[in-house]
């Protein structure tokens, strides 16, 4: 077990709700930071998300808020707001929030106000549409940004309604960018002894996920289309139906395609002018997919998976949540962790240090569980080194 985590000694005050900033705080906690989560008295919205519940709160809340201290503060109450300011001034290295855009100034929680008394504070604002521009004051959520950024225009099956990714890629991606920005600012502070304001947003993250699509558009003016489980620029690189399930098959270059053809018992396809090069395969994608599909449907998924893996072809079955949770590879990685003070296994960080995973975090706590701890700490007013 790791005892000297990278962020040990760093104090983070997280005034957050929902998913993006809480995910960032959960990552920082797993890296060793002492994270103080500030909730309004009614609690984080994620506590009410369903349908899965555990100890009175949505499973999502537990997934996003393990490892944190939890205090309840109503920032509209002057005395409670002063308590928050005292916590930041006396103890915080990092203050992170995802308040409604433009609202933090009225509470003195904007970067300029806080850094008057604490110039080395790392301040991170997790926004919706970004901190500048004509839409910067609008609220936003993951599906709005998947729509607005163009992600949904290239997701799903051609001819069908646009589809959202089944997981909150924009929320979690924004949390990751927040962590990257915070870590960079902490490193600079260590070297240059100055604070920083870090801004990230759901929209900027969503646009970043469109990096290749936007590059393609700027080159040829084509907006891209929907390719289901496939992609616009590689063929074959998608799911095919077998006799008892679906299998993703990826031949991302011409030599791999030739090996795929041999493994399928159709080596002549690799010599066919329609399919020999990726550029040609893209033009004849429909015919190629039909031929591969007709071959794969003849035998079970496990047979094709074994055969193609033996040939060095990248393949993967489309698994359910139950299958990935129960898979031996998931177990070997140890990424689903159950801490001693809880009974529910939740996903840990997808990181290891020196071959070892960070320790399991303690369970998410009830609203205001650490208010008394905070009161005692602020009363004693310990000196920071």
Q: Mark whether 303 and 376 lie in a shared domain.
A: no
Contact between 201 and 138 under an 8 Å Cβ cutoff? The reply is no
Q: Mark whether 23 and 116 lie in a shared domain.
A: yes
As a whole number, the mean pLDDT across the chain is 93
Residue 1: the pLDDT is 40
Can you tell me the distance from the alpha carbon of 368 to that of 374, in angstroms, rounded to the nearest whole number? Answer: 10
Q: Mark whether 291 and 203 lie in a shared domain.
A: no
Can you tell me the distance from the alpha carbon of 84 to that of 98, in angstroms, rounded to the nearest whole number? Answer: 15
Quick one: pLDDT band at residue 379, thresholds 50, 70, 90?
Answer: confident
In this structure, what token pair is assigned to residue 99? 């308040």
Q: Mark whether 117 and 77 lie in a shared domain.
A: yes
Residue 248: the pLDDT is 97
| Given 77, 171, 341, 370, the catalytic residue | 171
Q: Which of 181-185, 228-232, 275-279 has the lowest mean pLDDT?
A: 228-232
Q: Let me know if residue 349 belongs to a domain.
A: yes
The reply to whether 171 belongs to the active site is yes
Q: Mark whether 311 and 343 lie in a shared domain.
A: no
Q: Mark whether 345 and 266 lie in a shared domain.
A: no
Q: How many residues does the chain have?
A: 385
Residue 4: the pLDDT is 84
Quick one: pLDDT band at residue 380, thresholds 50, 70, 90?
Answer: low
Contact between 50 and 27 under an 8 Å Cβ cutoff? The reply is no
Rounded to two decimals, the pTM is 0.91
Q: Mark whether 247 and 192 lie in a shared domain.
A: no
Q: Mark whether 356 and 257 lie in a shared domain.
A: no
Per cent of the chain over pLDDT 70 is: 98
State the average pLDDT over residues 309-335: 95
Among left, alpha and beta (phi > 0; psi -120 to 50; other), residue 70 is beta
Contact between 228 and 239 under an 8 Å Cβ cutoff? The reply is yes
Inform me whether the pLDDT recorded for 189 exceeds 60: yes
Please state the domain count of the chain: 2
3-class secondary-structure state, position 22: helix
Inform me whether the pLDDT recorded for 188 exceeds 80: yes
Q: Mark whether 183 and 70 lie in a shared domain.
A: yes
Residue 55: the pLDDT is 87
Q: What CATH number is attached to the domain comprising 304?
A: 3.30.1540.10
Contact between 65 and 35 under an 8 Å Cβ cutoff? The reply is no
DSSP per-residue codes, 254-296: HHHHHHHHHHTT-GGGGGSTTTSSHHHHHHTHHHHHHHHHHHH
Contact between 110 and 95 under an 8 Å Cβ cutoff? The reply is no
Q: What is the dihedral of CA 86, 88, 92, 93, to 10 degrees?
A: -140
Q: Let me know if residue 224 belongs to a domain.
A: no
What is the domain extent for residue 97?
A: 11-209+331-380
Q: Let me know if residue 222 belongs to a domain.
A: no
Contact between 151 and 167 under an 8 Å Cβ cutoff? The reply is no
Q: Let me know if residue 230 belongs to a domain.
A: no
Residue 383: the pLDDT is 46
Contact between 344 and 54 under an 8 Å Cβ cutoff? The reply is yes
């Amino acid at each position: 077990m790791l005892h000297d985590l990278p962020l040990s000694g760093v104090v983070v005050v997280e005034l957050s709700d929902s998913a993006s900033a809480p995910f960032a705080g959960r990552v920082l906690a797993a890296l060793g930071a002492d994270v103080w989560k500030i909730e309004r008295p009614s609690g984080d919205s994620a506590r009410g998300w369903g349908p899965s519940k555990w100890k009175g709160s949505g499973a999502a809340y537990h997934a996003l808020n393990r490892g944190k201290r939890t205090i309840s503060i109503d920032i509209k109450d002057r005395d409670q707001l002063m308590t928050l300011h005292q916590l930041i001034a006396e103890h915080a290295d990092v203050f992170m929030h995802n308040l409604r855009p433009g609202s933090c100034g009225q509470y003195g929680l904007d970067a300029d106000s806080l850094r008057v008394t604490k110039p080395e504070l790392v301040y991170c604002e997790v926004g919706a549409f970004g901190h500048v521009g004509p839409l910067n004051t609008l609220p936003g959520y993951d599906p709005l940004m998947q729509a607005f950024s163009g992600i949904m225009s290239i997701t799903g099956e051609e001819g069908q309604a646009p589809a959202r990714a089944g997981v909150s890629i924009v929320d979690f991606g924004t949390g990751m960018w927040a962590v990257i920005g915070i870590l960079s600012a902490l490193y600079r502070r260590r070297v240059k002894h100055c604070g920083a304001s870090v801004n990230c947003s759901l929209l900027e993250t969503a646009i970043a996920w469109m990096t290749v699509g936007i590059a393609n558009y700027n080159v040829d003016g084509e907006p891209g289309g929907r390719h289901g489980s496939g992609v616009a620029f590689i063929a074959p690189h998608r799911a095919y139906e077998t006799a008892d399930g679906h299998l993703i098959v990826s031949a991302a270059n011409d030599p791999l395609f030739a090996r795929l053809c041999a493994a399928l018992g159709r080596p002549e396809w690799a010599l066919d002018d329609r399919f020999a090069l990726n550029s040609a395969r893209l033009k004849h994608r429909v015919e190629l997919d039909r031929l591969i599909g007709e071959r794969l449907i003849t035998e079970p998924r496990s047979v094709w998976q074994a055969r193609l893996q033996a040939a060095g072809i990248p393949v993967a079955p489309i698994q359910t949540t139950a299958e990935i949770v129960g898979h031996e590879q998931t177990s070997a990685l140890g990424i689903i962790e159950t801490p001693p003070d809880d009974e529910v296994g939740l996903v840990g960080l997808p990181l290891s240090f020196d071959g070892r995973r960070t320790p399991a975090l303690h369970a998410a706590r009830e609203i205001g569980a650490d208010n008394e701890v905070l009161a005692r700490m602020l009363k004693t007013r310990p000196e920071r080194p």
